[in-house]
Amino acid sequence: MQLAQLRSWSRKLFHARLKLVGLVLLLAGGSSDAYLNVFISQSQVNKLLGLDAELYYVRGGIINAYAMNFVVPVAANIDDLEFTWQSLAGQPLAYSLKIDYDMRGVTGYGSSLMALMPPKVNVSSTGHVPVEQQVFAIRLPCSGLESAEVKVAIKLNVTAPPETKFSDTILVFKRNKICMKGIRTQSKNDSVKLEAGPLANGNHAFYVAATCACALILVVVGVASIIYIRNSKARSQHPRKSLACCSYSAAGANGLAASSVLVKVDNRPGSANSGSYATIADLEPLYARPCGSRASYYAASHVTHLSQATDPCEKARAVIVPRAAMQCRSVVQEGTFGRIYRGTLSQAGREQEVIIKTVTDAASAYQTSLLVVEGAQLAGLVHGNVASLAASCLDSTAPMLAYACTPSDLNLKTYLTDGKNHPVTRDLVNIAVQVARAGAFLHGRGILHRDIATRNCLVDTSSLRTRLADAALSRDLFPQDYHCLGDNDNRPIGWMSLESLQLGQYSTASDAWSFGVFLWELATMGQQPYAEVDPFELAACLRDGYRLAQPRPCPDELFAVMAVCWLGPARDRPTMPQLLAYLQEFYDALGGYI
């Protein structure tokens, strides 16, 4: 049992580190004003999570309230925690310090022994925050009598300077201290005298109240600025308020449940809304100072206007072949005016397997031209995860576009929803990595996709090699995914970012939003996003802070990526290279457990 606990907690520590190394977003303002700095030094972050970076809770007098919700795991071999603080008011500021914890821990193993002994600190329960940067330390000593994961809340109340507009500041630092039976570690750092004081409260009332107040656990990760929302494992002892756009439920494909279609969250300090959730639309990235080579690896910025240097029709004409070179063999998919065949393409004396897109006699001139324009979007590109146009035939009223494929290639949405396939989590993350690689490649070539979704991907069912394709004929073949909002323009409403819906603005950031919905499709085996929401109301719901809920079964790490893709400000979303880096690491980590 102890070995199982150790493995479980080791995974939690590793996953916490993964979240921190996940995504480096643009730094932005916090949630309210203050008058001090509080942060964890680089050496402390390295000790706790193996990263070379400082983690700020308050920086330049600005509080990031969301950072306070990040629960930092403390390994069994670590006893001492250090915080750096400094008054910015030009004078010392009065404070009070209290530590709440559950001395037995929350293990689920029926423990009745004391796992954590009373914490010790090197400052008194009341005093003054110094004007110069100083460190205060807290020791969390395990008894060694029992294995447990002990929830600790360090509550710091700083009194506002007199004759200022500020209110008192309350900061709560959350820690999960891991204690192991038979391990009673002692810190090697005895440079400061740590004494037990009247700071510890063993009744754990504060932490339980804080935890149970949330139906979602919002984890905001500092160094890598990944904001992460969990709703499947949260607890609440209070009735939830009814919310206008939420409480929808959807039965998952293949028996998978998607929890609720939408959740709204709003637990901002001082918010008039006392509901159980926190609003994603209002979240701001954490303050963090990225260090090391990883920062340059993640370095990227969103571009608002990308354009192709060549006209799509010119691209199609560049790969034109005679009509006789394409042979249609069998129909794969058919819509009202579009049709997809399996067939062959004969060029230079050899034949290759292809998928052929064309239109029927019912197609209008506009629909015919749209096939060519959208089908040629990725023409001329060479990448292992991009299904680019291989050949075109434009010498008739029904143009034909050919794409190289294998006999086992299938539309990804069809693959997910047919009920015969059962990919495991690592398979789904592998597909996500490949599509992120394709997205990063396109953005690097100055191309916006504008419709990243499972319906626009091809997957080789024998190897799970996945390629991102264009959106030609998708409106006709997947009509349930497109909606016209009274302007005669069918758009993929459920995959569009807020700024795309409201203002018609597209950028690399809007592609990132669509990619987040694509990940949700993978996690739900191809379910319809926002299926029970009126398309005319979706923009208002997104503006008010509603988002897709975490599917059940979906790893927290994967949902974390979705959550940051759906941040309201476009500049705060991760770029495709950042998404690729995080998903690749997560995929590699999953392989370590097989």
Alpha helices (H) along 189-320: 205-212, 293-298, 312-318
Name the DSSP letter for residue 462: T
Give the 3-state secondary structure percentages of the chain, helix then strand then coil, rounded to 5: 30, 25, 45
d(CA 575, CA 299): 9
d(CA 175, CA 376): 53
Judge contact between 153 and 99, C-beta under 8 A.
yes
**In terms of C-beta density within 10 A (0-12 exposed, 13-18 middle, 19 or more buried), how is residue 518 classed?**
buried
Torsion sign, CA atoms 129, 130, 132, 137: negative
Question: Alpha carbon 333 to chain centroid distance?
Answer: 33
CA distances from 166 to 37, 85, 88, 157, 272 (A): 15, 18, 13, 13, 19
- Among candidate residues 100, 451, 511, 572, the one labeled active-site is 451
365: amino acid identity, one letter: A
182: amino acid identity, one letter: G
Element containing residue 94 per DSSP (H, E): strand 93-101
**In terms of C-beta density within 10 A (0-12 exposed, 13-18 middle, 19 or more buried), how is residue 268 classed?**
middle
Pairing of strands 490-491, 546-548: unpaired
d(CA 591, CA 102): 35
What contacts 105, CB < 8 A, 6 or more positions away?
Answer: 111, 115, 116, 146, 148, 149, 150, 151, 179
Torsion sign, CA atoms 397, 403, 407, 410: negative
Pairing of strands 169-179, 72-74: parallel
Active site residue 451: yes
Question: Alpha carbon 418 to chain centroid distance?
Answer: 27
* Helices 425-444, 576-591: inter-axial angle, 10-degree rounding: 150
What contacts 482, CB < 8 A, 6 or more positions away?
Answer: 474, 475, 490, 491, 492, 493
- Give catalytic residue positions: 451
